[in-house]
Structure 1
Amino acid sequence: MRILLAAALLTSAAPIAAQTSDQSSAVPAPVLTTPDAKDVWTYAQPEIARVTHVGLDLDVDFDSRTLSGHATLDIQAQPDAGEIILDSDNLNISAVTNGEGRPLNWSVGARDDALGAPLTIELDGSRQIVITYRTKPGASALQWLPPEMTAGKKKPYLFSQGQPINNRSWIPTQDSPGIRQTWDASLTVPGDLVAVMSAEKLSGETGELLPDGRRRFRFRMDKAVPPYLIAFAVGDLQFKSLGPRSGVWTEASMLDAAAYEFADVEKMIDAASDLYGPYRWGRYDMLVLPPSFPFGGMENPTLTFLTPTIITGDRSNTDVVAHELAHSWSGNLVTNATWSDSWLNEGFTTYFENRIMEALYGEERAAMYSDLDWDGMMADLEVYGGPTGTGAATRLHGDPGATGGQLDYFKGSNFLRMLEKTVGRERWDAYLRSYFDRHAFQPQTTAGFLTDLRQNLLKDDADLELSMQLDRWAYAAGLPDNAVHIQSETLAEVDRDLAAYNAGGVAADVDTQGWSTQEWLRFLNGIPREQTEARLQDLDEALGLSDSSNAYVRSAWLELAIANRYQAAVPSLTEFATRVGRGLLIRPLYSGLMEQGEWGRDLARQLYSEAKPTYHPATAAGIEAIIEVK
């Protein structure tokens, strides 16, 4: 069986020639070359020639919406390697030379809509290449925001989002999570703006003022990271310290609210380190972006990117911060070798996030999150026939983008919770801490994890392994019968209110005073999808749902309203979908509309035509697939 290929699954590439650049003198992270580690989303052939370091020198031009400059790549290659293949997507390349300026032959192959195009460069003995290029205005990783789409309304904004394979639209490199690279960068921006990156700052908070009035900011990441974690933003940004290792960047009008919301981040770092080993990235700063940011958070090293939708004034959504912090171990430190193994990032991190929240806020708060995750997992499984269905395995096959909803998060984390329950928390924690140490700064596969688990936790205990159903968890569809459902007493109280309401009660009798986001979601998601117009009107007027400032609450309410074609909620839907670009909150709205016949389809397309300029390119592409725009 594939799981039993033991040591062969952890071998790295054959020895290849030493690199020559002083910039990346550290030993490069290994590249896994086993069949299960082959990345179908890259053109690279790292076993022949691979990138070990990226040096960027780019000019940020808001007028043309382009980046221009050059990338200097350090190469590690087999002695007889004649070429290196990089990933690129719509880059205007003007020259390729070696480190001494000698031109090298290069070509760009046919473009694939999903993968971009291969950039093949003849090495001619070179171990450093310099690519001069310019991005295109529609680069899939970049969102250029006009002033009116920012909080301050006066200055433009730019941010990148690389995961999973969008960074090839602004960096010509080998854009695969299994090909870890160190990097440095110099960004030149308008003089009244600030640049930040997911790396150590070398030029201070205000950068270097140039004679032409622009500013240059320099950064360095001396740890090999998967290239999707190279990230930056440029805007009218300010910083507020939260502790010796942490702080928050954002626009001035959001700074105090963000600092309040994330005040416990130093405690989170301590709790995470106590659980699974030292934090190895130096600082943990956060950047709160405009509402068009497509995700709840992005775990870019040293600078987590966050959506403002989690700022609700009650700190009930700081599990998002805990999640991105946990990625500093699961994802950034030990990384899925391919996106088919995304659960190794997201499932581990969702489990770890919950342990951080428990350490800080107690078992019941953590139980709320776990209970809702169970609901999410069951909803995702239902699409594939329920717990005994035939689709959506944990370790995904075929298209790496087909994640089965959030099963990589929820089923993946429940897999680890089962392991904890089976062997006991003390034994499990010791193992997981040692796992992060053994595989630090390396890629990993599902098979590799199971091999490590068998060798270092189970230690040939056949009966224990049989009880765990490891292969079924990792490779089969559905949900094994040893899954662990943590139930929350707080949400059980909400369930009682929900039962009374669903039995014919009125919304005014539901006491929502002091409810957290999680309690609101349990209530709203538990209301049957078929409701009368009068019932929806009563719910909305009594609880103020169409005007809710909590983006999670508004999204859940709008899902219910759409399911009933509740016309009175359309103005709220329009305002929300043209202001918020977080995929988790808006994709279900478009999906719901498309299920409502001609009324919904027409509204979805009209709404998208208005909202598209506010969405990140990745978000826009996802919604276009939902509403069938060609």
Structure 2
Amino acid sequence: MKSILTFIILVVSNAVVSNSIMAKENKDWHTQSNYQAIISTHVHLDLAVDFKQKQLTGYIEHHLKKLDESVDKLQLDTRALDIHKVELLIDNQWQAGKFQLAELDSIRGNQLTIPLTKNTAKVRVHYNSRPEASGLQWLTPEQTAGKKHPFMFSQSQAIHARSWMPIQDTPAMRVTYSATIKTEPTLRPVMSANNTPQRNQQGVYQFEMPQAIPPYLIAIAAGDIHHKKMSKQTAIYSETAYLDSAASEFSDTQAMIDAAEKLYGEYRWDQYDLLILPPSFPFGGMENPRLSFITPTVIAGDKSLVSLIAHELAHSWSGNLVTNATWRDLWLNEGFTSYVENRIMEVIFGKDRAVMEQALAAQDLIAELEELPKGDSILHVAIKDRDPDDAFSGVPYTKGQLFLMFLEQRFGREKFDPFVRKYFDDHAFQSLDTEGFVKYLKTNLLIPNPGVVSDTEINRWIYAAGMPAETPKPTSNAFVKVQQHIDHWTKNNSSLADIPTANWTIHEWLYFINNLPADISLTRMAALDKAFNLTNSTNNEVAHAWLLLSIKRQYSKIEKRLEDYLISIGRRKLIVPLYKELIKNKQYYQFVKGVYKQARPGYHPLAQGTIDALFEAAK
């Protein structure tokens, strides 16, 4: 009897341990939710936008589906949320529920556990966000273009959705959502959902997103936002200051949709609009479905930076339609998107421009790899116990793109294009990890075409550090000519007046600046500036390249322009490299401290965190 009892105790004990391990060993380490046992199939948000308190307040309602019938709790991700109460819908009656908020995990936040009864169909969590929410930025009127009204926007990727709503914050699961959003009547909210051009005089707006999306794509913004239609499927939402210029700059968006559909199948999201955010937005763009969030820094006046629009649109197939299951699989999102973006640009603007953009991206990647830890040059990057924002570098974007270009070159577009289109169709509205992709690749491309690409080559691309020997090397004839001009000028065989810059594209200018000698003299820097007025360039990408070179060479005439640039722009791609270079240069350290003191209040929390860490490391 004792041995039988001992056996039962051991079995039960092992089951408890097993369940405990399962709860901790999510396939996606970055979520503390129990999404493998129970999921939200739909969420409804009922929130008020409170600019005075800098918070969203209200409730989120989860519609539940059990994947494991024995599950007796719902676990959600939260970070810096105030949880007020929980309600359970049991037999069509809302009843008070209990909840427990776990201790803070420095990366993943606080796990919220809600005990369930057997018949719980829905759960409501009443809460408010806090001003320090990492996924929201609250701007004062002075920080906006119009200077009269405040502005708020979200940035939920990678795991910042949990900072403004209690949710299963993992790309491995998908939800549809609806929302009731209340604002001051003078303002309007927009979301990654069905936005309507009409304003509501009471400040109450309803939203629906009928397609299932990962939680990081739930997005919200509110402010003095206006609307301008561009085409049958496209429109601009923005402050009035950007409305006309953005509509003109991005007028090719419909043509991009049409080109992408011919290549990769139906655009499945109905409308594709652009929200032009204040310049503090920390990224170039964010692919929130139906409403991409866009930085105004790409409104150049000549469509020279619209590849960013092609990139965010491309996410409508790669990322939004077929999603990386975990953040170590980010390359499946960004590598495919960078590849599709370039194919769209080729159709709309021609092969020469597409190749120039490939070459610039590849050059930037090579330079970045010199500074990245070796492990972070792996496509299937290891980021357990790390912030998933660490996965964002040129590696998932450009190394991923070059991998797909490698496959395209080996198999030819006549075979590779149908494969990519079938890949999107077969995995539509699903999440996929790297292992699943490799299996699909072998089954649908490698095995039907034996001897073209080996398993060893695939593994080298995906699982090995650095760049494989067979990496494509995009070469632009235009850049060859630019390099010749650089060489002739630096060897005193020609003058700056001999360089035919009148018809140069943004890409030729970037190549020119980025490939000047690293030890170029201050005399030559001054000559360049006098000839081409580079310090005062109104193109933010050209200005960035010139300012970065000037800091490295201690060309002091850029200091006023540099100060204005850093204070007026919050896009991390454009400001972080400048801060890095300034902070490590003793001559500029006091200067950059003063500039950052002025600029920091206008930066997004993600940018603040990155730059704070740079200063901390320099102490």
Q: Provide the TM-score with structure 2 as the length reference.
A: 0.91
AA of the residue aligned to 2:145: A
Measure how far apart 1:462 and its partner are: 4.9
**1-structure distance, mates of 2:23, 2:429:** 18
> Which is worse superposed, 345-354 or 189-198?
189-198
* Preserved contact between residue 180 and residue 206 of structure 2 (Cα < 8 Å): yes
Match of 1:494 in 2: 482
Q: For 1:109, which of 102, 105, 116 is the aligned residue?
A: 102
1:535 deviates by: 2.5
Report the 3-state secondary structure (helix = DSSP H, G, I; strand = E; otherwise coil) of the residue aligned with 1:133: strand
Shift, 1:507, TM fit = 4.3
SS in 2 for 1:354: helix
C-alpha spacing 1:113/1:599, structure 2 compared with 1 (3 Å) = farther
Seen in structure 2, the aligned counterparts of structure 1 residues 35 and 356 have a Cα distance that, compared at 3 Å, is farther
User: How far off is 1:533 after superposition?
Assistant: 2.8
Match of 1:81 in 2: 71
1:219 deviation in Å?
0.6
Partner of residue 571, structure 1: 560
- For 1:322 and 1:107, the matched residues in 2 are separated by 44
Q: Does 1:56 align with 2:26?
A: no
Tell whether 2:530 aligns with 1:513: no
CA distance in 2, matches of 1:199, 1:575: 36
Separation in 2, partners of 1:603, 1:84: 51
The correspondence for 1:524, drawn from 510, 513, 525, is 513
C-alpha deviation, 1:353, in angstroms: 0.4
CA displacement, residues 581-615 of structure 1 (integer Å, 9 cap, x when unaligned):
0011001001111231x323333333222111111
Instruction: Give 2:201's aligned amino acid.
Output: L
The equivalent position to 1:206 in structure 2, one of 169, 188, 198, is 198
Q: Of the candidates 167, 172, 177, which is equivalent to residue 171 of structure 2?
A: 177
Deviations 1:301-351 (A, max 9, x none): 000111111111111111100000000000000000111111101000000
Give the conservation status (yes or no) of the 8 Å contact 1:104–1:124.
no
1:390 to partner: Cα distance:
6.8
Match for residue 442 of structure 1? Answer: 430
Deviation at 1:209, TM superposition (A): 2.5
Contact kept? 1:36, 1:445, Cα under 8 Å? no
**Contact 1:508/1:543 (8 A) holds in 2:** no
Alpha carbons of structure 1 residues 289 and 547: separation in structure 2 relative to 1, 3 Å: same
Change (3 A) 1:92 1:510: same
Query: Within 5 A, what are the aligned runs for 1:275-286?
Result: 275-286=263-274
Give CA-to-partner distance per residue, 1:261-307, whole Å, 9 cap, x none. Answer: 11111110010000011000000111111111111111000001111
Over 3 Å counting, the alpha-carbon distance change for 1:457 and 1:35 in structure 2 is farther
Match of 1:118 among 84, 88, 111: 111
Aligned residue pairs: how many?
588
3-state SS of paired residue (2:40): strand
Query: What's 1:133 paired with?
Result: 127
**2:137: which partner in 1?**
143
**One-letter identity of the residue aligned with 1:567:** S
CA distance in 1, matches of 2:46, 2:392: 39
Residues 122-160 of structure 1 deviation map (CA, whole Å, 9 limit, x = unaligned)? 112312100111111111111111111111111111111
Q: 1:470 to 1:319 in 2, by over 3 A?
A: same
Query: Residue 71 of structure 1 aligns to a residue in which SS?
Result: strand
Q: Structure 1 pair 34/443, CA: closer, same or farther in 2 (3 Å)?
A: farther
Counterpart of 1:72 in structure 2: which amino acid?
E
SS, match of residue 377 in structure 2: coil
Structure 1 residue identity aligned to 2:197: E
Q: Counterparts of 2:606 and 2:600 in 1: how far apart (Å)?
A: 11
Residue 265 of structure 1 is aligned with which of 232, 237, 253? 253
Match among 523, 547, 551 for residue 558 of structure 1: 547
Match of 1:330 in 2: 318
Does the alignment pair 1:95 with 2:80? no
Distance 2:117 2:602 in 1: 45
User: Helix, strand or coil: the match of 2:516?
Assistant: coil
Whole-angstrom distance in 1 between the partners of 2:241 and 2:549: 32
Alpha-carbon spacing, 1:285–1:379, altered in 2? closer, same or farther (3 Å)? same
The residue number in structure 2 matching 1:217 is 205
Aligned to 1:228: 216
Which residue identity lines up with residue 227 of structure 1 in the other structure? P
Q: Secondary structure at the match of 2:172?
A: coil
Q: Report 1:27-46 matches (<5 A).
A: 38-46=27-35
Please list, as runs of the form range in 1=range in 2, the aligned pairs for 1:107-506 lying within 5 A after superposition: 107-125=100-118, 126-201=120-195, 204-210=196-202, 215-383=203-371, 392-398=377-383, 399=386, 400-403=388-391, 405-459=393-447, 462-466=450-454, 469-504=457-492
Q: Deviations over 1:507-552 (max 9, x none)?
A: 4544432332211110111112323333222222222122111111
Q: Is the 8 A contact 1:396 1:402 kept in 2?
A: no
The whole-number CA distance in structure 2 between the counterparts of 1:170 and 1:472 is 39
Note the C-alpha offset of 1:479.
Answer: 1.3
| Corresponding residue number in structure 2 for 1:28 | none
2:16 is matched with which residue?
Answer: none
Q: In structure 2, how many angstroms separate the alpha carbons of the residues matched to 1:453 and 1:338?
A: 19
User: Are the counterparts in 2 of residues 419 and 468 from structure 1 also a CA contact under 8 Å?
Assistant: no
**What SS is found at the alignment partner of 1:163?**
coil
**Cα pair 2:277 2:296 within 8 Å, conserved:** yes
Tell me, in whole angstroms, the C-alpha distance in 2 between the residues paired with 1:403 and 1:113.
17
SS at the partner of 2:56? strand
Whichever residue aligns with residue 526 of structure 1, its letter is N
Which one has a bigger Cα radius of gyration?
2
CA contact (8 A) 1:331 1:345 kept: yes
CA gap 1:133/1:34 in 2 versus in 1, 3 angstroms: closer
Quote the Cα distance in structure 2 between the aligned partners of 1:35 and 1:495: 54
Indicate conservation of the 8 Å contact 1:67/1:134, yes or no.
Answer: yes
Cα distance in 1 for residues equivalent to 2:375 and 2:39: 38
Deviations 1:229-252 (A, max 9, x none): 111111112211111111111111
Aligned residue identity for 2:309: V
Give deviations 1:92-151, integer Å, cap 9, x for gaps: 111101133311110111112322111111112312100111111111111111111111
Rate the CA distance shift 1:227–1:452 in 2: closer, same or farther, 3 A.
same
Q: Is the 8 A contact 2:26 2:36 kept in 1?
A: no
Q: Is this contact kept in 1: 2:180–2:205, CA < 8 A?
A: yes
The unaligned stretches of length 5 or more in structure 2 are 1-21
Letter in 2 for 1:520: W
User: Could you tell me the percent identity over the aligned residues?
Assistant: 40
Structure 1 position 378, deviation (Å): 1.4
Counterparts of 2:489 and 2:136 in 1: how far apart (Å)?
A: 45
1:162, 1:404 → 2: CA distance? 14
1:103 aligns to what SS in structure 2? strand
Alpha carbon RMSD of aligned pairs, Å? Answer: 2.0
SS at match of 1:102: strand
Structure 2 counterpart of 1:25:
none
- Secondary structure of 2:36's counterpart equals coil
Amino acid across the alignment from 1:158: M
Moved over 6 A (4+): 33-37
1:350-394 Cα deviation digits (max 9, x unpaired): 000010011112111111111111112211233359xxx776211
- State whether residues 248 and 285 of structure 1, in contact with CA within 8 Å, keep that contact through their aligned partners in structure 2: yes
Shift of 1:405: 3.0
> 1:460, CA displacement in angstroms?
5.8
Paired with 1:523 and 1:79, the residues of 2 have a C-alpha distance of 63
| 8 Å Cα contact 1:37-1:337 kept in structure 2 | no
Change (3 A) 1:529 1:302: same
Which whole-Å CA distance do the structure 2 matches of 1:371 and 1:148 have between them?
40
